Chain A
Amino acid sequence: MLKLLRMEYVVNRRQMLITAAIFSGYFLFMAYKIDSPRVFLVTMSLMIGLAMPFGIIGRESKFKTASLVCSLPVRRTTVVLAKYAVGWIAMGFGLALALLLAAWLPFSKVSVAEILTLKSLSVCLLVVSILFGLIFPFTLRFGLVGIIILLVSSQLLGVVALILAQLLGRGPDPLRTVITGIIKGLRAMLYHEATPDFLMLLAAAILAINAASFFLSKALYACRDL
């Protein structure tokens, strides 16, 4: 496992630096523009969960090196575990970078103290877990094509939802309902009182999503022919 982590570090370190540089610019802009810690938290989580692991995991697909990794004396389960860990390490760095920039910059409007609470961080991890948990198995199984499949599928679903909304006339707009539901859900979590039960629930959801994503990834990677 450590050998694989080291390997991921060596092959991805330049990519990590480039990503960190791009993200720093993005976070600087967000810290300057956004004054609500909750909005900053959600946008930061979305960005980290969507893009951070993307470049790292996708590199194997770009250079077609999966057959090299799987020919080495390691089990495929270990390969998946290492990639999952690398994804989370990258996201952890992204999160730390965003918070550091928001706290350190003189022109930052975000109050980092409000983000650095157990509840806020748990919500952040949940958002990141959902996105990463969804993207990871696709990228691992189908490479960068997997991401395109996911994006195209989402767009097609959106088109179907819009057509349905047109057909239903005055009925409920499914797309609007979904988006409103997500926003409401996020708002409910962010404004919910940080009771131990709620925090436990968030922790359980984070664990369940990651476990499901990992086992799905493992199963998909196990049957992948390289």
Chain B
Amino acid sequence: MDHALEVRNLRKRYPGFTLKDISFALPRGYIMGLIGPNGAGKTTIIKLILNIVRRDAGEVKICGLDGLDEESAAKARVGFVLDEPPFYGYLKAPGMASIIAPFYDKWDGDLFRRLCREFELPMRKRVNAFSRGMAMKLALATALSHGAELILLDEPTSGLDPVFRRELLERLSGLIHDGRTSVLFSTHITSDLERLADYLTCVRDGELVFSTTRDEVLENWATVRGGEELLTGENRDLFTAVNRGPYGFAALACDKEEARRRLAGRGAVIDRLRLDDLVYFLGQKDKGKS
């Protein structure tokens, strides 16, 4: 399969946090959601792909090009939106475009202007007077204006109003129709991904939980609720994360059928997984686990 992005055994150590051997691949023409609780390592992964954080080990290939050895050629194929868009605040939107455009052979000035108009960006206002949402829109317009084959988005919908968020998701969905463009999208707003993502990669505490298709996650994973008596030793291996409460427990199971087989008829409620629940449970794991 032709991959837009291949990440192999990516490792980065910080004081107090280590990203451990992260591996996943994003096939060309698809959208992948990168999810996980705060501090899981999502932004670090995106920065490692862009090489703005130096890796301790591992390999990144962008459209088959090595992220280090063929850095310039690989990055020319990438459009990015970082968590905090790094703009020269005293420039205006056209000024920012004028310094970025020369680095991309496929820069489309007309498309950039059109996107700015569609995003209702003020062209005569300095970037430092932009709200966070407007800065995000400018970063998006920049990322989408040079025919990037891989678009990396780090929390792009944070700070955006629901109307524009919906429009953005539709735009991203439209982007991949050419079969050439792929999107890696990290977000806390997991409802966006349920609507949009073809693949999901989940990280927690710097470790990969899974990287697979969205359908497989939604089919196989489940939330389970029930009384404490169900949390016997033999059942504990069913659950990836358990949250105990005064009226029983709620847990995350990675094998819905097995959970059903073992717990059906014993008072357990097995629900279809929502990605929100997944992130919630993974974030809660260490707090509630017995």
Q: Which single member of B80, B90, B91, B102 contacts A71 (CB below 8 Å)?
A: B80
Interface centre among B73, B74, B89, by most chain A C-beta atoms within 10 angstroms, is B89
Q: Name the residue of chain A whose CB is nearest to the CB of B99.
A: A7
A7 vs B88: C-alpha distance when bound (angstroms): 11
| B248-282 with Cβ < 8 A to chain A | none
Instruction: With CB as the reference atom, state the residue of chain B lying closest to A12.
Output: B88
With A10-B95, A11-B91, A63-B89 as given contacts, are A72 and B52 in contact (CB-CB < 8 Å)? no
A226's partner among B53, B72, B104 (CB-CB below 8 A) is B53
**A33 at interface by CB-CB < 8 Å:** no
Taking the closest CB of chain B, its distance from the CB of A113, in whole angstroms, is 41
Looking at the complex, which one of A64, A65, A72, A225 makes contact with B103 (CB distance below 8 Å)? A72
State which residues 62-78 of B face A: CB under 8 Å: 71-76, 78
Binary contact readout A64-78 vs B (1 if CB under 8 angstroms, 0 otherwise): 111110111111000
Query: Does any Cβ of A come within 8 Å of B210's Cβ?
Result: no
Task: Say yes or no for A222: interface residue by CB 8 A criterion.
Answer: yes
- Residues of A contacting B53 in the complex (Cβ-Cβ under 8 angstroms): 225-226
Query: Which A-chain residue is minimally distant from B80 (CB atoms)?
Result: A71
Contact A14 B72 (CB under 8 A): no
Complex-state Cα separation, A14 to B89, whole angstroms: 13
The docked-state distance in angstroms from the alpha carbon of A224 to that of B51 is: 10
Considering the chains assembled together, what is the distance between the CA atoms of A3 and B102 in angstroms?
Answer: 6
B220 on the A face (CB < 8 A): no
Q: How far is the CA of A225 from the CA of B99 in the complex (A)?
A: 23
B52/A67 in contact, CB under 8 A: yes
Answer whether A10 and B103 are a contact pair too, CB < 8 Å, given A71-B80, A72-B75: no
Q: How far is the CB of A8 from chain B (nearest CB, A)?
A: 9
Indicate whether A6 sits within 8 Å of B86 (C-beta atoms), given known contacts A70-B51, A70-B52. Answer: no
Instruction: Return the chain A residue nearest B103 by Cβ.
Output: A72
Q: Which residue of B lies closest to A14 (CB)?
A: B90
Report if A17 contacts B (CB, 8 A). Answer: no
> Within 8 Å of chain A (Cβ to Cβ): is B164?
no
A67 touching B90 in the complex, CB below 8 Å, given contacts A73-B73, A73-B104, A223-B54: no
**Contact residues in B for A67 (Cβ distance below 8 Å):** 47, 52, 82, 86
Minimum CB–CB distance for A13 against chain B, Å? 11
Across the interface, which residues of A come within 8 angstroms of B98, CB to CB? 10
B72→A74 contact, CB < 8 A: yes
Question: CB distance A225 to B54 under 8 Å?
Answer: yes
A sample of 23 inter-chain contacts (CB < 8 A) reads: A7-B99, A7-B102, A10-B95, A11-B91, A59-B88, A63-B87, A63-B89, A63-B90, A65-B86, A65-B87, A65-B88, A67-B47, A67-B86, A68-B86, A71-B50, A71-B51, A71-B52, A72-B75, A72-B100, A72-B103, A225-B47, A225-B52, A225-B53
Binding site for B on A (CB under 8 A): 3, 6-7, 10-11, 14, 59, 63-68, 70-75, 222-226
Known: A10-B91, A73-B73. 18 other contacts (CB 8 A): A6-B102, A10-B95, A10-B99, A11-B91, A59-B88, A63-B86, A63-B90, A64-B86, A65-B87, A68-B86, A71-B50, A71-B52, A71-B78, A72-B75, A73-B103, A74-B72, A222-B54, A225-B54
